[in-house]
Structure 1
Amino acid sequence: MMIDYDVVKNWIFEDVRYDYAERDVMLYALGIGLGQDPLDKGQLRYVYEDGLQVMPTMAAIMGAPGAWWKDPRTGADALRLVHGEQHLRFHRPMPARGSMRVSNRVLSLSDKGAGKGAIGVVLREIRDAETGELHAESRNVSVLRGDGGFSTAHGRTDPPPAPLPPIPQRSADSVLELPTLTQGALIYRLSGDYNPLHADPAVADKAGFARPILHGLVAYGMAAHAVLRDALGYDSIRLRSLGLRFTAPVYPGETLQFELWRESAALVRLRGRVRERDVVAIDNGVVEIDPRTD
């Protein structure tokens, strides 16, 4: 079986209407670890209905296309697929209750060569269902480890996405730690990702893990939390974009140690390391922020 470039590149996704309310907003925030300090007013903005704000990274779960790579028409080896990178660009804050119209399309499909895998990029737009205003754009980069070489048969491939720049060589400007919850994956899955890899020990064992692992998008949301806490005083309106690369799994209950570099008033670089195992789980993070200080 081999990836069919034309089928994948022209895959048709139906638009999705994503309705949510305050409970969904709070549940998502709790799932990525906000609210662990119930006296922290900054965290309470995202987990308490009085003045509730939406954590911007919630856009990453809105209208996701699901496990479409498993469809045999793609020709992909979905069992060897990993979430390589996640990018979000934020255009305007989301209301605490709303309806979004979400569209997905395959942006690119790149052949790295036989034995080297392939890279698929899906672009998602999250718009207000009534006004059509764009709230956020998502780019999901999937690494298809078992699907390199398809262009030999089909003669077509796209240029690979531009790599994220390396982390600065100098010492980080700040370091902070955010613990994950031992039950974190079980809470987060209630926001819509029910992959048993994150809940069932038997499934995790078959996949080669000692126990269920944390969702990658939990670590992604925690990276945003680290930026809000360290650089923005929990003012999420100033967060403009966040892109990063996933490099290792995180187990529920472990602590992520985030290193942040302030490259300018509008640019922060970021890396996340699992403290207990001294393993980099998040790398090459690029964060754009509104530089205003008022």
Structure 2
Amino acid sequence: MISYEQLRARAFAPVEHRYSVNDTILYALGLGLGADPLDPAHLRATYERDPGFCALPAMVNVLGYPGFWAMEPDTGLTWQKILHGEQSFTLHAPLPAEGTVVGHTKITEIIDKGAEKGALIYSEREIVDKASGQTLATVASTSFARGDGGFGGPAGPVKPVHQLPDRAPDLTYDHRTQPGQALIYRLSGDLNPLHADPEVARGAGFDRPILHGLSTLGVASWSITAALADGDASALKHLQLRFSAPVYPGETIRTEIWRDGEEVSFRARVTERDVVVLNNGLARLG
């Protein structure tokens, strides 16, 4: 069982992460970019000699990551029942195409939804440039620990979700994922066999390996800048969303977009199954 005080105060060692231009390109390929090698917007993320080459903002999600720490026995968590519920990131400065960063992770709150209802674990990670000491980004996650409610912790407050406008989307953007996309994306750091091993996937209730949720997030972030910023990925400064369903590699992700000034609301659905896979999305461009 969770010890609220112990888990809330859990100390995470800083994670130093050196990444190269090749890693930056590999991340973009793990979102399915490069499928059209003649698309100038794809080349800006996948070809280092392109004049506009840059790291995709969503790459901060894989930098300075402390690993799947919930598996460690001192957490008291039933790690097999943990789901990734929400994710957000905010860029405070442009992400360099290569460099060394340090990730500083902390748990900001644990919400007890009650016995048989699970718990919410809110965590935050600051990504700091090692050379300058500048904070490049803040990444936040919500984990849903389905098997760990009823430990006597606080029942709230629960973070509110962004509400989508009550009208048809202003525009949509389709991005077809690649059949081998999960096998590429996992090389950016998430080696969970659920995304590669058919037997493991079937044991988890899927008929084949599923795409990483953070790859789906990356696709949506890319789609927003492709639709609204002429493919200039660096225009994205903030993004938040809730994961609602998995994607199978090879499916088409349609990002539905509403724009109200600088505020961009969005959700994403798989067109082949008409299933919403990302919901309650909010992005800001700058």
**TM class by smaller structure:** over 0.9
Conserved? CA contact 1:260–1:268, under 8 Å? yes
Alpha-carbon distance in structure 2 between the residues aligned to 1:59 and 1:244: 15
- Secondary structure in structure 1 of the residue aligned to 2:107: strand
Alpha-carbon distance in structure 2 between the residues aligned to 1:79 and 1:229: 36
Q: Match of 2:223? A: 226
Q: Match of 2:236? A: 239
Is the aligned partner of 1:8 residue 2:4?
Answer: no
Conserved? CA contact 2:88–2:240, under 8 Å? yes
1:268 corresponds, among 252, 264, 267, to 264
Is the aligned partner of 1:162 residue 2:163?
Answer: no
C-alpha displacement of 1:37: 1.5
Conserved? CA contact 1:91–1:136, under 8 Å? yes
Conserved? CA contact 1:101–1:126, under 8 Å? yes
Q: Match of 1:83? A: 84
Alpha-carbon distance in structure 1 between the residues aligned to 2:155 and 2:233: 35
Q: Match of 2:39? A: 40
C-alpha displacement of 1:181: 0.6
**Superposition pairs of residues 103-182 of structure 1, within 5 angstroms:** 103-151=104-152, 156-157=153-154, 159-182=156-179
Alpha-carbon distance in structure 1 between the residues aligned to 2:71 and 2:6: 13
Alpha-carbon distance in structure 2 between the residues aligned to 1:288 and 1:70: 34
More displaced, 233-242 or 22-31?
Answer: 233-242
Aligned-partner residue type, residue 199 of structure 1 = A
C-alpha displacement of 1:148: 1.1
Alpha-carbon distance in structure 1 between the residues aligned to 2:68 and 2:57: 23
Alpha-carbon distance in structure 1 between the residues aligned to 2:285 and 2:48: 26
Q: Match of 2:248? A: 251
C-alpha displacement of 1:238: 2.2
Alpha-carbon distance in structure 2 between the residues aligned to 1:19 and 1:257: 33
Unaligned runs of 5+ in 2: none
C-alpha displacement of 1:16: 0.8
Q: Match of 1:92? A: 93
Conserved? CA contact 1:109–1:160, under 8 Å? no
More displaced, 94-103 or 231-240?
Answer: 231-240
C-alpha displacement of 1:158: 6.5
Question: Residue by residue, what CA displacement relative to the aligned partner does 1:71-94 show, whole Å, maximum 9, x if unpaired?
Answer: 121111111100001100011112
C-alpha displacement of 1:66: 1.1
Structure 1 residue ranges (4+ consecutive) displaced by more than 4 angstroms after TM superposition? none
Alpha-carbon distance in structure 2 between the residues aligned to 1:205 and 1:160: 36
Q: Match of 2:62? A: 61
Unaligned runs of 5+ in 1: none
C-alpha displacement of 1:236: 2.6
> TM-score by structure 2 length?
0.97
- Secondary structure in structure 1 of the residue aligned to 2:115: coil
Is the aligned partner of 1:209 residue 2:197?
Answer: no
Conserved? CA contact 2:222–2:233, under 8 Å? no
Conserved? CA contact 1:175–1:260, under 8 Å? yes
Conserved? CA contact 2:113–2:155, under 8 Å? no
Q: Match of 1:49? A: 48
Alpha-carbon distance in structure 2 between the residues aligned to 1:163 and 1:281: 19
Conserved? CA contact 1:244–1:284, under 8 Å? yes
> TM-score by structure 1 length?
0.94
- Secondary structure in structure 2 of the residue aligned to 1:49: coil
Question: Residue by residue, what CA displacement relative to the aligned partner does 1:260-294 show, whole Å, maximum 9, x if unpaired?
Answer: 00022x1100010011111100000000112xxxx
C-alpha displacement of 1:159: 2.8
C-alpha displacement of 1:174: 0.2
Alpha-carbon distance in structure 2 between the residues aligned to 1:136 and 1:272: 24
Question: Residue by residue, what CA displacement relative to the aligned partner does 1:22-74 show, whole Å, maximum 9, x if unpaired?
Answer: 00000000001112211111121110011320001000001112111111211
Classify 1:122/1:281 alpha carbon distance in 2 versus 1 (closer, same or farther; 3 Å): same
Conserved? CA contact 2:56–2:234, under 8 Å? no
